[in-house]
Amino acid sequence: MATWARTTFPVNAWAKGYALLATVPQNQTLLRTRFGWGASAVLDARESMIAFQRVSVGFGIITAPSTVATSALPDPSATGVDPAPPLQRFIWWEQRQMTCRAIDEANGVHAWSTSAAQEIADSKSQVIAATSGTATLKVYAVWGSQTAWTFTGEGNIWAWASVLYE
């Protein structure tokens, strides 16, 4: 029987992170992943716009056997290389730049968000959870930025996903 696993999450952090999207039982197949993601920030107007426009944020959807520690999940801002295919690999990987959306001189802030997606965020796949022992196949969202948060203001990353397996 086909199963959709759906999740949404705001991340009130800028550092490398992950979220579990679905657990595919042994010998079932990951069929499709639909998702959306973005980042936003509100910065003090005294911050360098030139420095912040260089910030990129990486986001990926990755599969991994349940035996793989979450600390071993890659930072998509640093690499898009599949760690250990066929079971541990990116099924989606993307980098986006931050873009200034508004400047509010009266309140001394400027607002930023990620650039638009370059492709439709929809992945069709045929990953069979043929893991050893009792291991399952985990589907994670992973994110990160190569730029540490040293700015005065707040940055957030958000995402949603629907994962289909049977």
- Local confidence band at 146 (pLDDT 50, 70, 90 cut-offs): confident
User: How many whole angstroms separate alpha carbon 80 and alpha carbon 89?
Assistant: 9
pLDDT tops 90 at residue 141: yes
3-16 mean pLDDT: 82
Q: Which residue has the tokens 């696993």?
A: 5
> Which pLDDT does position 119 carry in this prediction?
65
- Local confidence band at 120 (pLDDT 50, 70, 90 cut-offs): low
What residues pair up with 90 in beta bridges, in sequence order? Answer: 62
Give the predicted TM-score (pTM) of the model: 0.87
- Local confidence band at 111 (pLDDT 50, 70, 90 cut-offs): very high
User: How many whole angstroms separate alpha carbon 3 and alpha carbon 7?
Assistant: 13
89-101 mean pLDDT: 90
- Local confidence band at 87 (pLDDT 50, 70, 90 cut-offs): confident
R_g of the chain computed on alpha carbons: 17
- Local confidence band at 118 (pLDDT 50, 70, 90 cut-offs): low
* Sequence spans of domains, the chain: 15-37+58-97+117-165
Query: How many distinct helices (H) and strands (E) make up the chain?
Result: 1, 9
> Which pLDDT does position 122 carry in this prediction?
61
Question: 3-state class of 70 per DSSP?
Answer: helix
- Displacement of CA 70 from its chain's centroid (Å): 14
